[in-house]
Structure 1
Amino acid sequence: MNRPDWAPYGVDLDRPNAARVYDFYLGGAHNFAADRAMAQQALAGWPELPLIMRANRAFLRRAVRFLVRAGVRQFLDLGSGIPTVGNVHEVAHAQDPACRVVYVDIDPVAVAHSRAILDGDARVTAVQADLREPATVLGLAAEQGGLDLAEPVAVLLVAVLHFVPDADAPAKLITAYREATAPGSAIAVCHATADGQGDKAAEHRALYARTPTPMTMRSRAEITGMLAGYELVDPGLVYMTLWRPDDDEVPDRPESFPGYAAVGLR
């Protein structure tokens, strides 16, 4: 296929990628045929997936609004993917234009596109880094993104921790970010779960095993354990649609949106 202008050289166009599949589910245009084929295969067994992804995005928006109102003005969005409408900097700047946002992703396509659309906004930066290397990520966020680690930072881990395998000890990663941020900092997490999903979840994991980022769904108890050290704000760790929903966002069956979400304060 012809390589689009926004896709950097060296990227394999024939292998699906989680960030680009997510972009497709959200109605974006920054994905390739391999990504769309994988998404369509997933949709055949789980047609509600686009609604689930949009619910995840809605949680992100609500969490950012809450954190700005709570006094946080710096955001570190880990595994940010490809920016779409209603992303972190748009939501944060609607509350306070002085907010600073650093997007971090390991995918060069996501980072290249982020840099293109963010060009000229000194308050927002995109860096390519692996969230499993906290010291490197925080160094780049300070050097390139201007984050002041002596001031509160909200670490956003939304729809990304399920791509961190157990072997990489996600709980220890969260601890490392918590200990490196100032008092008053925060975390926002949304994590996929297989709780109550049966065969759908197993098939979905099998599809993502074909990508560079296989999926590890976790239980409510496992996710709760990762957040030790943070004080979770009400309503705690709940299904994503139940975390401080807007009036029109509560579905009849919250458990059909298989992701747990929470915001914690340091």
Structure 2
Amino acid sequence: MILTVNHQTIYRYDQPMRGMVQSHRLTPSRCDSQTTLDWSVTVSGATMGGAFRDGAGDWVQACTVAGPVSEVIVQVMGRVETSDTMGILTGHREKTPPEAYLSETLATRPDVALTDLGRDAIARGTDPLDRAHRLAEAVGEAIVFTPGVTEAHTTAAEALSLGQGVCQDHSHALIAAACAQRIPARYISGYLHATFDGAANEAAHAWAELWVEGIGWVGFDAANKCCPNESYIRLGSGRDSREAAPIRGIARGPGQESLDVSVAVEAAQQ
């Protein structure tokens, strides 16, 4: 499948800012499930800085915008040819060992409920892959996809207690439950071309990858109760949504920031 992406993020400030610095994970991953045909990231008024591939295999690009600045537009456009590898991440070069993802963050710190959920789920599993599937299934059943009920800083424990959330909450909860059972897990940011009715769909999407002994990293989208397939584009990874965020940055000055984001992912005619 060939997917086209049009992703625009507009930052506006009620007073001119002295400047802005950002780091981007907005370039599709190099792996067997996707091939980038063409891709561009532009930032209005910006000077592009250094770029590098980090230990997790993600491409990180820095940029700065000199002030005074009242509006910054980040525009992402491109085409990616995708294929279904049943969620298994292959052909992806990285140096970070899986054990590095056993360390918790504030967002993925497991409480008693998350620990119990994980323990009960893997107890029903017959092998490492089956246990990973059962973990994802348990999280998907425990948290109902409900937009607008959680916030960017909602933790996995809070989302599980609420029983509702979005893809970020499902991913955090799955990571927390897995790591509580000593299964390395990480957060993945990307895009989703959603065509099926009744599913939990967001064009700017997130899911988790779990380390399965004998196989490697396998993706699980607990919100949609599936593994990533040809409808997914993988961008970046981290221990939680903050570390894997496509755009991270800071603006210097007295102004208050407002954000406008639009994402469209479509299947191109082949």
- Same fold by TM (over 0.5)? no
Q: TM-score, normalised by structure 1?
A: 0.25
Larger radius of gyration: 2
* Larger fraction in helix: 1
Higher RCO by CA contacts (8 Å cutoff, separation 6 or greater): 2
